[in-house]
């Protein structure tokens, strides 16, 4: 059965290392007969959560802000598989990803029954250096009903744009996409 895959890329640069891994994951997923879409957060207008409480007084069906987040949340709700990908900044996810996760508050109770994959890239070559980033992702997904952490990809030891192509993470991204 074909699955609907949604990849959220927080890379601030097109063709950055985490973004390249997103593309490889998508290529694998499509080669296996699934549909896949990538949302590039840098191309979207996503405001910070203001903590206004509108979402929790409206049964978590809407947000008071009018930006691109409502469209993304609808796609998350419709997806079978969600991939969260970020470069690592100071041993955690970048600001674009954190802002995006915070804004999921408006509909998080509707993001259910999903498989999640996590992708992180960092200049530090120790996989342990990416753990805080994965823990941050888990802090989000632990709030979701019937979520399954299906896999993660450590893109450690890459700094310059494109370096990831010569790492084992490059092949791993394709294989994980192909085997969802």
Judge whether residue 11 has pLDDT over 90: yes
pLDDT of 99-119, one tens digit each? 999 999 999 999 999 999 999
Mean pLDDT of 107-132: 95
When the pLDDT of each residue in the chain is averaged and rounded to a whole number, the result is: 96
Residue-level pLDDT at 58: 86
Mean pLDDT of 71-100: 97
Mean pLDDT of 142-156: 97
Judge whether residue 170 has pLDDT over 90: yes
Residue-level pLDDT at 21: 98
Within a 10 A sphere around the Cβ of 49, how many other Cβ atoms? 17
- For residues 180 and 118, what is the distance between their CA atoms, to the nearest angstrom? 13
- For residues 176 and 26, what is the distance between their CA atoms, to the nearest angstrom? 9
pLDDT of 40-82, one tens digit each? 999 999 999 999 999 989 888 889 999 999 999 999 999 999 9
Enclosing H/E stretch for 74: helix 69-78
Q: Which of 41, 111, 43 is nearest to 76 (CA)?
A: 111
Give 69's contacts (C-beta < 8 A, 6+ positions apart): 44, 46, 47, 63, 100, 103, 106
Residue-level pLDDT at 133: 97
Share of the chain above pLDDT 70, in %: 100
Q: How confident is the model at residue 87 (pLDDT cuts 50, 70, 90)?
A: very high
pTM of the predicted model, to two decimals? 0.96
């Amino acid at each position: 059965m074909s699955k609907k895959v949604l990849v959220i890329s927080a890379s601030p640069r097109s063709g950055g290392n985490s973004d390249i891994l997103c593309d490889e994951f998508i290529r694998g997923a499509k080669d296996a007969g699934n549909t896949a879409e990538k949302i590039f957060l840098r191309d979207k207008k996503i405001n910070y959560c203001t903590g206004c409480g509108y979402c929790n007084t409206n049964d978590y069906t809407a947000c008071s802000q009018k930006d691109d987040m409502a469209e993304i949340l609808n796609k998350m709700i419709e997806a079978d598989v969600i991939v969260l990908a970020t470069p690592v900044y100071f041993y955690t996810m970048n600001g674009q990803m954190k802002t995006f996760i915070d804004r999921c508050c408006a509909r998080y109770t509707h993001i259910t029954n999903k498989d999640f994959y996590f992708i992180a890239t960092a200049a530090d070559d120790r996989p342990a250096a990416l753990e805080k980033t994965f823990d941050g992702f888990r802090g989000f997904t632990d709030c979701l009903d019937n979520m399954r952490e299906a896999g993660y990809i450590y893109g450690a030891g890459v700094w310059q744009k494109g370096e990831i192509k010569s790492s084992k993470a490059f092949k791993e991204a394709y294989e994980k996409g192909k085997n969802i």
